Amino acid sequence: MKIVTTVVITLLLLCVSPWCAADRLYTIEVDGHSRSYIVHTPPNSSGALPTVVLLRPYIAGGSGFPGYTGLDALADAKGFAVAAPNTAFGSWGVWNSGGEGPQNIDDVGFLRAMIGALAAQGISDPTRIYLAGMSDGGFLAYRGACELSDLVAAIAVVAATETQLDYSDTPPQSTYSCDITHPVPVLHIHGLADTCVRFDGGVGTGLDPVQRQSVPDTIANWQSRDACAAGTTVTSGPGGLLCSASACAGGSAVQLCTIAGAGHIWPGASYFPLGVNAVCGGSGSSAIDASSAIWAFVSQYSLVNGVLNASP
């Protein structure tokens, strides 16, 4: 890993929230590629902060996505940092999530190097690193939970599923292993009317109509990996919200929240892109504020010397 270069930039033309003006763009060389990521820290913050690594979907640039989700504003209120990496192609392109994406790009290695740099610079508290991602970014968050569990305390996923299997082979072949070093808490939020990443699996609509694993199978995989107890606690809310939670080893949890009628969305976002609705079905929803729910979930956990701690 070569020396990290820092560039302070004004992102007013690229962002959808006023907090972006103070964000910083960093570059780092990983495996012969120059990679970049944007870091948002609360005004007047000091010391190493809990950090949410926010993995963007294909259709959103790393600079604007934190503002769209509202995570940057929430970070200012709650006192955490948001790190938004770009793909190897910059502000567009897809991640290598295993069964999908450019197989010659080591995005897991990039995330490992980025997290290490954030800690070395004193930006991030290495005991409180969390992954959150939507769609293509959610695919990578699941892979990161498997391959970066020595660094990551918890993850949250929106409108995605696990892409460990390559369905172009018959039978499907595993593209990466999942040997976690500790139970990884998982929060998954999904619109039941999403046709791009279908809740029940199968071939979706949209830019990449390929076979994917169902969300229930993904949740079952993590319940097994995290040695969850039998049975779930189920709660419901307005707007078709239904959440089920499993208590798991080491104080961890696997929680699934679904929203009836919702499409391929970040629930509670400032607006709903109509173009996504046209391709992926369903509607926007404020049944749950995904950003607030994600922070409330992941912030319970820390990872100290490889041991998961629950610290509500």
- What are the sequence ranges of the domains in the chain? 5-310
Cα–Cα distance between 10 and 18 in angstroms, integer? 11
Residues above pLDDT 70, as percent of the chain: 90
Residues above pLDDT 90, as percent of the chain: 77
Is the pLDDT assigned to residue 17 strictly greater than 70?
A: no
Is the pLDDT assigned to residue 307 strictly greater than 50?
A: yes
The CATH classification number of 5-310 equals 3.40.50.1820
- pLDDT tens for 281-305 read 999 999 999 999 999 999 999 999 9
What pLDDT does residue 147 have?
Answer: 98
CA atoms within 13 A on the CB side of 282: 28
pLDDT bracket for residue 68 (50, 70, 90): confident
What pLDDT does residue 10 have?
Answer: 29
Contact 196, 277 (CB under 8 A): no
Q: What is the pTM of this model?
A: 0.92
What pLDDT does residue 274 have?
Answer: 67
pLDDT bracket for residue 95 (50, 70, 90): very high
Query: What value does the CA radius of gyration of the chain take, rounded to a whole number of Å?
Result: 18
User: Torsion-angle region of residue 263: left (phi > 0), alpha (psi -120 to 50) or beta?
Assistant: beta
Contact 178, 226 (CB under 8 A): no
- pLDDT tens for 166-217 read 888 889 999 999 999 999 999 999 999 999 999 999 999 987 889 999 999 9
